[in-house]
Structure 1
Amino acid sequence: MLKKLAKLALSAAIGLAAISAANAQSDEKATLKLMSFGGEAQTAAIKNAIARFNKSYPNVTVELTMDPISTGWGDYVTRVLSQFNARNAADVYGTAIETFRTFESKKLFIPLDDYIAKNPGYSDFAPSLFEQSSYQGKTYFIPIGWNNIMINYNRALFKEAGVDYPKPEWTWDQFRETAKKLTKRDTAGNATQFGYEVPNQFFFIQPWFFSNGTSILTKDWSGSNMLDPKVAESLQFLHDLIHVDKVSPIPGKDTMDNQFNAGQVAMISRGHWIVENAKRAKLDMDVTFPPQKETGITVIGFGGYAVSRTSKNPELAKALVTELTSFETQKEEGEGGGGVPGRKSAADTEAFLAFPPSAALYYQSLPNTLPVPSPANFQEVEKIFIRNYQAMMADEISIAEGVKKTNEELEASFKRLAAKGG
């Protein structure tokens, strides 16, 4: 009953805030450029947020640019930096933690601590998101949706194979045996259904290191940790899924989301963003925690909005950020299949919890997450690691050789960063 009353009170507060905003129109005239990221769910929610913003600021035009991040965050960083270099930067940027340290070190955005202090509604966000949005004692990003990598699995394929659904606290060995049972072959021995897709993207791979009590970088992201034997052990496990158990194809340039939705892959490592397409495909999908070896820790990445230092209308930009991070926007993005809402209240709606069936596990996992390694030289780190990782997974280079080579390249990258004062 108390929970229901709290929700009613929250709804009432939101309604009063909306009425107040609508009645307090501003005569200011300006054009704001907004650059954000995501797919259809995020685009729709952002456009609706802009429409609500324009009820209070009818004379402000917001020009929206969306980036699908189809080629990774490194390329997004390049695009943003080129805009600043050309003096054509947006007023507001939606970006992700993979880029935070790079942008913060270059001082592209203004600190938002005073703005946050004046907006008590931000207490609805998980405090850890703001902590991870800070740099050298200042906060430059207002967190929005987040994603942690979970194991997404096709329940229909589990039923068909007579395999029990995975438990949240399963192990690497249990995962491996499950993947074997869910792999199908034709009479020639060719796989017609894979039990798992060994990931091909930086973010997706990290839980395999974290769950083994290690990481490819040091804890402070200041150097390589590739020579930790646990890193090689994690890579060997993934390699063996491909070449020994043959439950996964060799990671290529393209992800296998379409094959997963078509029932050709039983399990993949993804975040909540996959829900949008899973719903569209009417996939009988659920989620569980990644398997653990030493820990139950998975990786988290999240988005945030920042205001450009070059903006001629910083206060209007902040007002737009307020709407972009509102309950309404967070609710729409989450229920539409975007990231998990940063606002706890928006992740507690019936619609959000309706699919996948174990959607409550997203927030339950939050205390057991570590941010994706995101140093100021993330562009180089990501490319160095993925290039060598793909070579190791394809058997073009041994795990031992690949780990050594990756370590050397990463250390060289960090030396270049230090020389630049990064």
Structure 2
Amino acid sequence: MKKFLFSFWGLLLLLAMPWKADAQAALSFDGTNDYAEVLSGSQHIVNKSMSIAFWVFPTNTTGGYPNFDGFAGFRNNSNADFYILQLSGTNVEARFRNSSGVNYDINAAALNVNQWNHYVLTYDQSTLKLYHNGLFVQSVTATGTITNAFTSLHLGKLDWSPTPFYSAIQMDEFGLWARALTQSEVTALASGCSIPNTSPGLKLHYGFNEGVPGGNNVGVSTAVDLTGNTNGTYYNFDMTGTLSNFTSKPGDVVTHDTVQACGVYVDSAGTLYTASGMYSDTTNTAAGCLNISNLYLTLLQADTALTQVGYTLSMNDTTGSSYQWFDCTSGSVVGSGFSFSPTSNGQFACAFTSAQGCMDTSRCVSVTGIGLDERGMDHWYVSPNPGHSGTLHLKGSDFYQSVTLYDALGQKIAEWHAGEIKQQGLKPGVYYFCIQTQNGEKTLRALLH
């Protein structure tokens, strides 16, 4: 599995959730009326030895007639039976019935309810054998073959009159072979995640991967045979939600990492990410399982914009945890806080840390005009300061060229060219009066509570 690490410029925040094991698709049956059918599936094992194998997650804790759960196989109750059925909360029945109508049964305590179980049933025209979770369980002597080529293969139900035995199960990786599997092959299937399509004699293979686990799969009705021989059909599935739909399966592992990073992000493989999004990396294990790593990445971009009102510079982001203003020429620190009014001309910028912890630096801004004749400007003042009741009142001289009021973001609120300078209906915050007279310019900062 790929591990996602990080590198950064400035500061990177990594919020990695503990990995959670999910899986790819299996198939959930509701035990009421949904099932999969492969018409004339028995054509593949006519006059041959045979095997079936599958994973199943049973949920019926009691069983007993008529509440049997028919897991999978052929059953016409006449001349073509080869199936596994849940008899009780602990036992399964495995049956082979030949073309003469003679049946051979295995009744074994080989069932773990509410757990994934792996079953293999083999018949070599002399012995019927049942395997559970890779281990041999029981065998009986049997003879004959199946000659009926038109019996359907059912998954999630087995036929019975008047009511079929539907199954409340999850199922994955069903296979049918026209030969008897060996013990070593059974062991490999039980310890692996998928049936290899190169397996000799494999006639049907259903992986139940046509839909999204738990998603909206209402348009899916075909069970795809991965051998390319005979597709099946899904009947009466809801194909939405967690029941009667595609669901997760054992073996495959999905990990989820949620990462927040400042600017860019680099994983352990050296992949550079420059945009937020969901990224997925998939690898295969020797057993055929999938290791899927999902990265949910959010790249945080600090707001480096600033506003200049007169001689005062203000960062647009006023929620940062720290601000440090510096002279762009000398590099010396000249102020702190989200706003700064230099006392001399020059170029200034702000290095700041956002509330999310990202560090960045604004552009350099030129401030000129400081030191010009400002005689007659000192008598301008805001009264009261801080203001209240939504009102700011600037006092000074009756003679001025213009006075402009800005908010903290540099948005112009009002402008005067003569008369009393008073603004009402303002919201609490920081404001700036930019005063222009024949003697020069002056900017006053005002607070409104």
TM-score, structure 1 as length reference: 0.21
Higher relative contact order (CA 8 A, sep 6+): 1
Bigger radius of gyration among the two? 2
More helix by share: 1
